Amino acid sequence: MNSLINASTIEAGFAPLATAAAEAGSDVGSPLANISIFLVFVGVTLFFVIRASKNTSTAADYYAGGRSFSGTQNGTAIAGDYLSAASFLGIVGAIAIYGYDGFLYSIGFLVAWLIALLLVAELMRNTGKFTMADVLSFRLRQQPVRIAAAISTLAVCLFYLLAQMAGAGALVALLLGIESGLGQSLIIAVVGSLMIFYVFIGGMKGTTWVQIIKATLLIAGSAVMTIWVLALYGFNFSELLGSAVENTGEAALLEPGLQYGADLFTKLDFMSLGIALVLGTAALPHVLIRFYTVPTAKDARKSVVVAIALIGAFYLFTLVLGYGAAALLDTETILAAPGGQNSAAPLLAYELGGTFLLGFIAAVAFATILAVVAGLTITASASFAHDVYAQVIKKGKIDSAGEVKAAKMTVIVVGILAILGGISAQGQNVAFLVALAFAVAASANLPTILYSLFWKRFTTRGALWSMYGGLGSALLLIAFSPVVWGRDTSFFPEIDLALYPLTNPGLVSIPLAFLLGWLGSMTSKVSEDPAKQAEMEIRSLTGVGAEKAAEH
């Protein structure tokens, strides 16, 4: 999820974009128009959140929205949770500059959902209750596995939150034309407070409606821009491609290799990124928790099918928008901005529709960040309150109201940490945080999930070795990689302590996590309860005993 080889960022592209806006002043767009459109969105979502807050008394209401969402609604919310606005900016920019190679990001993000559909969605929904740890600890020792799962979940959510909060502050600063660091810090605090209110009051129901609205607006806005671009070329995609090549003077825009060339480390980097994206998506905690908001396994499957359709359409839009930016904008103009290629999408919006379309796209982009942040926060609070506080600290001896109270207190703590982290991450290259989130999810979570669901001999030792080994190796490799040290785009560019040559740990940490899970299970002298294993297998495949199963 970061751009690995070049200076751009895929998921954390808002900070440079805000810097560009600060230097450019108000040459592009109107801060008043931008913020007006943004406030309309906030007002609409607040209405739904307050309305949803009337029924969040039980744990099922707060964590899973009372399992009242249809497959279509939940699929739209999943798309809203997954389609990052920064991803939108980064991919459009990557295609505008690197053409074919830039579109590979879109392909990776979409293909990843096939694993979620075929291996994870239905089985997770049947076996679990509120969190990923429900599945992982079903037939293993509860306490150590829940603690490990909670640590992994909080690690993924924390790195995502830092990047998204910094991006949110930068984007709103762009909308308002604020240049000072103090002003952006104040904006991050306001955005964080708004997020805390959404999740504290509305729980999963409120969060889901924010995500549904955001997904609708983002896809609709992208569709309008896509149709607009195609209309300029008589809906002839070949003519659009030809114009992009002619405008940029780069014939290789339509061929592979412009970004990922023949260098060995470049190829290994791309392979590592692809593995992390494809395998990490199916193990992201804030995506997994959405499978528990539907009443039946059938709805869980439909959720993923709807999400794939919406996400697939969106990434096809990015192909047109990327080449549209290449055809209609000067490459030098895009790259000259401190935001680099991440500026392509808003510059294209301004080129097409002027101030209003730019304001709409900017407001939708902020809505996207707010929806992702809300999803991450509810996931983090559910993980701590349900897995650690209720099951480990209280040993399950806590009522639903007490668990919801603990979750709400956790929301406040997580929100404050996100605000402080977002403020501290201003102006830094926070792309590695999001890349690490995918790498951690793929390394620590996916091997344990698949082993738990499909391997009878999997043991508690295997789970702990896999989760802690995957988490630890991913953290260690990132900590000593060029993402952090020694490059112009590194966190510490002046110091070169990079011992690991690649910028994504997935190529090493993911196979290592699978190996550790197998090795830990094979060397374990304690076998797990065969009755629980059989129960889990039957329940995961049939849904017997799952939440609300009796009603369907």
The whole-number pLDDT of residue 428 equals 54
Buried-exposed string 269-281: b where 16+ CB fall within 10 A, e elsewhere: bbebbbbbbbbbb
At 349-378, the pLDDT tens digits run 888 988 888 888 877 777 777 777 888 888
- Cβ atoms of 168 and 401 closer than 8 Å: no
Distance CA 23, CA 184 (A): 15
Structure tokens, 182? 């103090």
Long-range contacts of 176-184 (CB under 8 A, 24+ apart): 176/31, 176/34, 176/35, 177/21, 177/22, 177/25, 177/26, 177/31, 178/22, 179/22, 181/426, 181/427, 184/18, 184/426
Chain centroid to CA 107: 16
| pLDDT value of position 379 | 84
**Residues 101 and 270 sit within 8 Å (Cβ to Cβ):** no
C-alpha count within 13 angstroms, C-beta hemisphere, residue 463: 32
The residues near 457 (Cβ < 8 Å, ≥ 6 apart) are: 521, 522
At 262 the pLDDT is 65
Single-letter amino acid code for the residue at 160: Y
Nearest to 103 by CA among 315, 269, 341: 315
Measure Cα distances from 53 to 45, 145, 202, 210, 368 in Å.
Answer: 12, 32, 4, 13, 21
Of 354, 367, 408, the closest CA to residue 386 belongs to 408
Q: Which two tokens stand for residue 377?
A: 């926060």
- Inter-residue contact 100 to 327 (CB < 8 Å): no
Instruction: Note the pLDDT of residue 323.
Output: 93
User: Taking a C-beta distance cutoff of 8 angstroms, is the pair 440, 159 a contact?
Assistant: yes
Annotate 33-67 with b (16+ C-beta within 10 A) or e (fewer). Answer: bbbebbeebbeebbebbeebbeebebbbbbbbbbb
Helices 297-328 and 71-82, packing angle to 10 deg: 40
Q: Which residues of the chain have pLDDT under 50?
A: 1-27, 338, 429-430, 549-552
Residue ranges covered by each domain of the chain: 31-424
What is the pLDDT at residue 550?
35
Q: 234: Cβ–Cβ under 8 A, 6 or more apart, which residues?
A: none
CB distance 219 to 76 below 8 Å? no
Q: What pLDDT score was predicted for residue 272?
A: 87
Q: Where are the alpha helices (DSSP H) in 281-343?
A: 285-288, 297-328, 331-336
pLDDT on residue 522: 93
Classify the C-alpha dihedral 91-302-291-466 as positive or negative. negative
CATH T-level topology, domain 31-424: Sodium/glucose cotransporter (1.20.1730)
pLDDT digits (tens, 9 = 90+) for 296-310: 778 878 888 898 899
**Rounded Cα gap, residues 256 and 270, in angstroms:** 13
Quickly tell me which residue has 């369907």 as its tokens.
552
> What does residue 391 show for φ and ψ, rounded to 5 degrees?
-90, -35
* Burial letters 331-342, b for 16+ CB under 10 A, else e: beebbebbbbbb
In the numeric block, the tokens 């359409």 are attached to 313
In this structure, what token pair is assigned to residue 212?
A: 């549904």
pLDDT value, residue 545? 63
Question: Of the candidates 334, 435, 426, 316, which has an alpha carbon nearest to the alpha carbon of residue 5?
Answer: 435
